[in-house]
Amino acid sequence: MQALIIAAGMGNRLGGLTSDKPKALVQASGRELILRALDFLDHPDITERIVVTGYEGEQLSAFLAKHSPDVRTIHNPRFREGSIITVETALPHVRGDMLLMNVDHIYPRRMLQHILQHAQGITAVCDFDRELVADDMKVKLDGKRRVVGIKKTLTEYDCGYIGMTLCSKDALDDYRGGVAAAHKEYGDSANAEAALAHLACNNMTIDICDASGMPWLEVDTPEDLERAETVLRHNPNFLL
């Protein structure tokens, strides 16, 4: 399975922390976010790790060449636009099963094993144990627990998306088509999840992998970073 890490965005919500470096190089409890993402992907089923760079891409590529030279980098020059373009930039390099994730999420390693055991086709990783707020990606399900809607502004929803999508090789063409169609329909500012929304609205089966009960962190703001550092400092088993 190839793993794609989206690391192209400008990280504006982190303020001065990203004024001269990409979000991927912001440290959480002494370790860069990109290295924490790569730690998570250290699994025998992950055959290739690809990082899609954008803002301060040369700096990130140089860092990876030094600290993780086996990682492949692909640059998205249109990083100021929506993450749908970042996904489009990477998809020509995908040949088989794929895991798509964001660089600003910190997950425990046990979550990857759980996902690999329970995901098939096109799968959105979700949980049911959070109180979702305005900026969270919300997911509406049908009676078979398949995705029928995914968007931050949903007013009726069942669970929250936690930043990872899996796509098996046999569903890759469908996913590519969904990305292209979502870009065309929603424009350059569309996010990556718009592809799932488009596919779900056009009767494509989008399953979920329920990761409820497993902790994870998102680093979008200085407050998020402070919380992440507190959790990582006081819970040595968090990442296991």
pLDDT, tens digit (0-9, with 9 covering 90-100), for 180-192: 999 999 999 999 9
Whether 75 is covered by a domain: the verdict is yes
Sign of the CA dihedral running 156, 178, 123, 69: negative
pTM for this entry: 0.96
User: What per-residue confidence (pLDDT) applies to 118?
Assistant: 86
Is the pLDDT confidence value at 15 over 90?
yes
What is the CA angle 193-198-202, rounded to 5? Answer: 150
Percent of the chain with pLDDT over 90: 98
**Angstrom distance (rounded) from CA 225 to CA 33:** 10
**Cα 198 from chain centroid?**
18
Using pLDDT thresholds of 50, 70 and 90, give the confidence band for residue 236.
Answer: confident
Is the pLDDT confidence value at 74 over 90?
yes
The first and second tokens of residue 130, run together, are 């959070």
Whether 239 is covered by a domain: the verdict is no
- What is the tally of structural domains in the chain? 1
**Angstrom distance (rounded) from CA 98 to CA 96:** 6
Bridge partners, residue 207, by sequence: 123, 146
Whether 240 is covered by a domain: the verdict is no
Whether 225 is covered by a domain: the verdict is yes
Whether 132 is covered by a domain: the verdict is yes
**Angstrom distance (rounded) from CA 221 to CA 15:** 8
> For the purposes of burial, counting CB atoms within 10 Å of the CB of 188, is it exposed (0-12), middle (13-18) or buried (19 or more)?
exposed
First and final C-alpha spacing in the chain: 21
SS3 51: strand
The first and second tokens of residue 195, run together, are 């592809």
Question: Residue 183's domain is classified under what CATH number?
Answer: 3.90.550.10
Whether 117 is covered by a domain: the verdict is yes
Whether 147 is covered by a domain: the verdict is yes
Residue range(s) defining the domain that contains residue 202: 2-234
